[in-house]
Amino acid sequence: MQNVASHEDWRVCFSQVGPGLVLFARQWVRSRADAEDIVQEAFVRFWRRNHNIGNRALLYATVRSIALDLIRRDSRRARREAEALSGSDQVVEPQFELADDAQNALAAAVDRLPHEQREVLVMKVWNELTFAEIASALGISQNTAASRYRYALAALKKSVQPK
């Protein structure tokens, strides 16, 4: 079977999934530049190995793996960054385009979710992966993926409800 996608296919694929993939990678790194580096490495790896670009579960698993490798490799740097960012006047680049205060609150609530819920949420909402694809990428069952998603939504619903 022909597995080599054309350059144009890759460009189209990237324009569709690029922003969501960078958002996905941002869960592990603070800066957008680092997240983009991770996504770039994932795409290059896919391109070099002639993987099928339609295999989104593998693409996300690749991003996740590269991000985790980066964290392990740069743990000291990450610690220094965390210490530097612990000051009160830190500026963290926004992960979302925010239009109003309500969206700001929702984005902050997303950021406060437990990591395993947030990664499922990001894959499902902004990357439109199926639970089967999420399960495959994360090495969990579909039921676990679905329940993490529901827990995330429940937590967000609770946090944005007016008190």
Footprint on this chain of other proteins (rule: CB under 8 A): 1, 3-4, 7, 10-11, 14-15, 18-20, 22-23, 32-33, 36, 39-40, 43-45, 47-52, 55, 58, 61-62, 65-66, 69, 93-99, 102-103, 106-107, 110, 121, 125-126, 136-140, 150, 153-154, 156-157, 160
Residues recorded for the chain? 163
- The three-class DSSP label of residue 114 is coil
User: How many C-beta atoms surround the C-beta of residue 9 within 10 A?
Assistant: 12
Shortest distance (Å) from residue 127 CB to other proteins: 9
Shortest Cβ 29–other proteins spacing (Å): 14
Separation of CA 142 from chain center: 18
Encode 61-80 in three state secondary structure. HHHHHHHHHHHHHCHHHHHH
For other proteins, the closer CB: 36 or 81: 36
The DSSP 8-state label assigned to residue 5 in this structure reads -
Closer CB to other proteins, 69 or 79, in the complex: 69
